[in-house]
Each structure stands twice: as C-alpha cells, then as structure tokens.
Amino acid sequence: MKAYYSKAYGNSEASVFGELPDPVAGPGQVLVEIKAVSINPVDWKIRRGDARVVTGFRFPRIFGADFAGIVRETGPGVTAFTKGQRVYGSKSILLDRGGALAELRVVEENKLRLIPEGMSFNEAASLPIAALTALNGLRKCGLGRDTEVHDSSGNPGPASSGKQGSDSSRKEILINGGTGGVGHFAVQIARARGAMVTVTCSRANANLALNLGADMTIDHSTGELWSSGRKFDAIFDAHGHMKAWRVHKLLKPGGAYASTLFIPPPYLAIAVTRLLHGKKLMSANMRSLDEDWQELERLFSEGSLRPVIENTFPLERASEAFDLAMRGGFRGKIIIII
Ligand SMILES: NC(=O)c1ccc[n+]([C@@H]2O[C@H](COP(=O)([O-])OP(=O)(O)OC[C@H]3O[C@@H](n4cnc5c(N)ncnc54)[C@H](OP(=O)(O)O)[C@@H]3O)[C@@H](O)[C@H]2O)c1
C-alpha cells in the first residue's frame, strides 16, 4: 500500500511517501480503505517527538489520527460492520500505535462509527479530535446540551432557525482562537446552545467568525480585548495560551475558563482565583463517549455544525499539509485526500 510515514522523530525531512506492506485485519478488527485524514496539532507535535516517552520508538511510523473511509474487509468476530460501509473515527497515535495516513489501515471495531447520511469523507475526517474537544470545552464552560435554546415545539433553535433567547438571558462566552480547527467548531456549537459569542481571531478571519455564528469579533493581535473592560460568563481558550491573571480579569464572578492545553503553573493563582472569586480554571481535553459522537452527528444533521475545509492535499503531498499545519495562518481543518 501507499503510505506517508516517518523514519524517525522529526519534521517533514524525516517523513516519506512510499510503499509499506498491506495490513491484515485480526480478530475484532476492520480493514479500512482510507479516503481522508485530517491534521491536528497532536499529529505534528508527536511526529516531531514532543512526547516520545509515551509515543514509543518504533519506526517506520504512520501519523494522522482522524480518518474516514470504506470497510474493505472485516476480521474474525466483527459483527457491527460489513464490507462497503462508510466509516470514520480517530486512531490513537500514542504508545507505538499507527495513524491513518495510508491507503489501508486496520482499526478496532469499537473505534469505528458509520458516517451519517449527507456527510462527506472530508467532513467526517475533520470532526473527531477537534469537534469532540470543542464539545467538551463548552460543556466545562457550562454550555452543555441542557443549556441549548429550544423553540416552543421543543426543536433545537438558534443556529438553524435564527432564534435566540433575550440578550440578558444569553450566556456571554469568549472563544479565544475561533477560526482554527477546534475554535471554528466551538463557535458553531456555542451559537447552537444560544450563547452570546465573542471570538478572537486575526482581522482577516473576522468575516468567517461572524458567518460561523459569532456576535462580535476582536483582533487577537491588538490589545483591544484586555482594554475593553468586558467580562464574560465563560471563556473557551481554543488557542490555549491565555495567562491566568488575564483570565481572572475577563471572567465574571463564578465564571468558568476551559483551555485546550494543560493549564500550566502558577497553580497557586488558579487555586486563589477559585477560592476567592468562585471562578473555575480548567483544562478541557477531547472526550470521546458515544453520547459525544451522537451529539456531533445530531448538530451536523440539523445544519448547526459545518466543517470549514479550505486546504486539501493528496497523500503524496502530505508534507505540505504538515508544514502548513505547523506554520498556521489557515482556517478550519486541513485534509489529506487518499
Ligand atoms: N487537549 C486536547 O484534547 C486537544 C485537542 C485538540 C487540540 N488541542 C490543542 O488546542 C490547540 C488548538 O488546536 P487547533 O486544532 O484548533 O489548532 P489550529 O487549527 O492550528 O488553530 C489555532 C488557532 O489559534 C489562533 N491563534 C493564533 N495566535 C493566537 C493568539 N495570539 N490569540 C488567540 N488565537 C490565536 C489561530 O487564529 P488566526 O489564524 O486567526 O491567527 C487559529 O485559529 C493546540 O494547541 C492543540 O494542541 C488540544
């Protein structure tokens, strides 16, 4: 099979496009013909060797966790899938395990889902890590499904119908970095939950953020956010680098902050903030329960969640996709098509 793989830890100079042996599905496994893979920061960070203690030393090594494809064969004991079905999921790339950047990959049956009706391979591959992280971050910010605004018939309202609660009843949320992989999903989900959404992004991406459902945008390259005097009920830091003291200034009493990155010291500041002001500062990792996937699929089928995909590359040009992902300056998700 054709594959894009790394021969050692490093950037694109350590990776090649070439041939590797075809994998075979074992018991409980499914052989998937991969059609699309999306790039997440975890792919290029692990490829570079940032977490080599937990990612092992076995090479050649394939990266690219999130994928979509077609079932080519099923291994012994597989009952949930049959040949020809469209499937998607996320392969763990920790502990020597391989990702999806190849024509054929073996995936555990319990790590696969059927692609919903109307969702393309590219859209399906764009969702797992980024959208599940956005969903969990917003839940930690108090924007779980139970906060969603419904119309009088009980149907979910705002993003598809344009309905909103009154301004005073809407939770005010700041999404820091709202047009990247995680952020552009978070803006749409927060909007679907009926929140009043302020987004930081570069000036060039302001229109995109507004189209995704933001009520207001702030250019993150200026000091406008810090000087505005604004206060929020919640902050979802999709970019992940806000300082604890700045978060404290921006949050209303009792507010919540969730970051996609592990919150670094000073832990003391975090503890004091919680004790004195009732504000919660938390990390928000991807959560992958069945109910989370169902929720994403529901939002997609309602039209409330649409992946933004402006950059696609064929497998033989995967290095360019990784280089762009590391450099930044793109919007939404980067997809490698196989
Ligand atoms: N813990 C987890 O489970 C988990 C899961 C997924 C991601 N993550 C982490 O979350 C972070 C974001 O992931 P991603 O996939 O969204 O990355 P991404 O697609 O590269 O997006 C990064 C975003 O950050 C914005 N940005 C750049 N400089 C900024 C600044 N100074 N202030 C505010 N925003 C800024 C960019 O906006 P502009 O282009 O407009 O500048 C871009 O929208 C990464 O660090 C990743 O490792 C964690």
Domain boundaries, the chain: 2-127+307-337, 130-283
Q: Whose CA is nearest to atom 43 of ligand 1?
A: 180
Asked if 2-127+307-337 and 130-283 have one fold, the answer is: no
Highest mean pLDDT: which of 23-37, 162-176, 213-227?
23-37
> Is residue 188 exposed (0-12), middle (13-18) or buried (19+ Cβ within 10 Å)?
buried
Q: Whose CA is nearest to atom 46 of ligand 1?
A: 41
- By percentage, how much of the chain surpasses pLDDT 90? 76
Provide the pLDDT for residue 151.
46
Mean pLDDT of 212-239: 94
Which atom, in ligand 1's list, is nearest to the CA of 201? 40
Angle, helices 181-192 vs 290-302, to 10°: value is 70
- According to CATH, the topology of domain 130-283 is Rossmann fold (3.40.50)
State in Å: Cα 186 to ligand 1 middle.
Answer: 11
CA 90 to chain centre: 11
Question: In the predicted model, is pLDDT for residue 273 greater than 70?
Answer: no
**CATH architecture type of domain 2-127+307-337:** Alpha-Beta Complex (3.90)
Provide the pLDDT for residue 159.
41
Q: What is the pLDDT of residues 15-57, one digit of tens each?
A: 999 999 999 999 999 999 999 999 999 999 999 999 988 888 8
CA distance 55 to 62: 12
State in Å: Cα 47 to ligand 1 middle.
Answer: 18
Q: Which residue bears the tokens 């999921």?
A: 89
Q: What is the pLDDT of residues 46-91, one digit of tens each?
A: 999 999 888 888 899 999 999 999 999 999 999 999 999 999 999 9
Question: In the predicted model, is pLDDT for residue 309 greater than 90?
Answer: yes
Mean pLDDT of 103-118: 97
Provide the pLDDT for residue 158.
43
Report the side by side order of strands in the sheet with 61-62.
Answer: 15-19, 2-6, 61-62
Question: In the predicted model, is pLDDT for residue 13 greater than 90?
Answer: yes
State in Å: Cα 229 to ligand 1 middle.
Answer: 24
- Where does the pLDDT of residue 275 fall: very low under 50, low under 70, confident under 90, or very high at 90 and above? low
